[in-house]
């Protein structure tokens, strides 16, 4: 979920931004403030690594009869 500008801080001249009720669950990533494109790419790469690790873990446990 992206609730803020990526790359250019379009909110720089806004005095107050309030984000309420947003929840990031599981392997999701939530960006709620202006973020550089480089930082966003790091977050996405980390998210992808986590998703792949979870997928591999589920596959291993499934093969061994321990799937949840």
Spell out the domain ranges in the chain. Answer: 1-68
**pTM for the full predicted model:** 0.61
Judged by DSSP in three states, 58 sits in helix
Measure the CA–CA gap between 28 and 44, rounded to whole angstroms.
9
pLDDT at 59 (0 to 100): 92
Average pLDDT over the chain reads 82
Measure the CA–CA gap between 29 and 18, rounded to whole angstroms.
18
Highest mean pLDDT among 8-12, 54-58, 61-65: 54-58
State CA 21 to chain mean position distance. Answer: 16
């Amino acid at each position: 979920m992206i609730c803020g500008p990526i790359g250019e801080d379009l909110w720089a001249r806004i005095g107050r931004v309030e984000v309420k009720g947003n929840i990031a669950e599981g392997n999701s990533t939530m960006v709620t403030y202006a973020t550089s494109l480089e930082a966003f790419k790091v977050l996405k790469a980390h998210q992808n690594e986590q998703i792949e690790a979870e997928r591999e873990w589920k596959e291993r446990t499934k093969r061994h009869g321990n799937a949840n």
